Structure formats: structure tokens, C-alpha cells
A = this chain, B = another copy of it.
């Protein structure tokens, strides 16, 4: 059967797998994102474990909007590395031009999945560039990570928001209150 004849149909599992694979190929470990989450949240939840942080990062990565933003951003980084972009865009992306804000826009579509409470955490790690973000942001190292550093910060901020929602649900269940906001 001719390949062209198979009608297109979205395969969500393939998109999800590609997202994790490409994060890995671009040098980002789930545990490194989890460390950013720990940095952001341990002050509020002293008992928070790395295992929980990793679990929450993984849950964020199951979201379709997150996968779309990750793949699109990494794609633009790769093409900038290969110098395959329109010259004016090539220049802005390969130099991480501060006035080019599309990287922040994609990052925000990730943060938004768990609501506006994640904006602050995103801005904070994006400014301070702790851990993996320092490496991704180091312009001397060769690869272009104009999109990826913002995306990784956004995933960490999103996982932090998810933890905040979950911890509230746990508190309410302990108090015998019915939880109403489970499906995250």
C-alpha cells in the first residue's frame, strides 16, 4: 500500500515520545528540570522529594500543549544551528536577540496549562538561570538553545504549579473535605 494513501491521523503517543526523546537529544535530563522544581518549591513544602518533582515534570510532559511547544521550539533551535532560517530570523534566533520574544511566547503556552500562578516562577528562574538553565544559556558552547532554555524554565514552573494544586487537594482530603479539582 502506498504511503501517501494512508490518510493523516494524529498519533498522540508518537508526539509524546518525540518530545521526551528530543529533550534528551538536546542534552536536558528530566532530573535536571526536577532540580529546578525543587529549588522553586522546597521553601513551601520542606518534605518535597526529588521523586515527586520528577513525577510532576513527567506529568507536565504528558500535556499536548507542552509537547507542541517543546517540539516547535527545539525545531527552531536546530534549524538556527544548521543556518537554515530566513536571514533576518536566523540572526535574531542564533544570537538570542532580547527583543525577539517568540521564545517567551512558547514558554508561556507551557506555563499557562496550569494557570496564571506559574508566571512568577517562570520569570524568576528565567532571570536567575540556575542549574541546567545556566548551561543552556551559555553562548560559548556551540548549540543554539534560544528556545530551549525558556522552555525548560517553563516546564519547571508548570510542574511547580501542578504541585501547588496537588498539595492543596491533599490538605483538603486530610481535612475530610471533598476534592473537586482532581483532573490535572
Contacts and interface: CB of A to CB of B under 8 A. Distances in A.
A89 B106 contact: no
Contacts of A122: 119-120, 123
A71 B89 CA distance: 7
Tell me the dominant secondary structure on chain A's binding face.
helix
A117 B113 CA distance: 12
Interface in A163-184: 164-165, 168-169, 171-172, 175, 177-184
Nearest to A79: B79
Nearest to A10: B97
Contacts of A123: 119-124, 126-127
A11 interface: yes
B109 A102 contact: yes
Contacts of A64: 99, 115, 165, 181
A42 interface: no
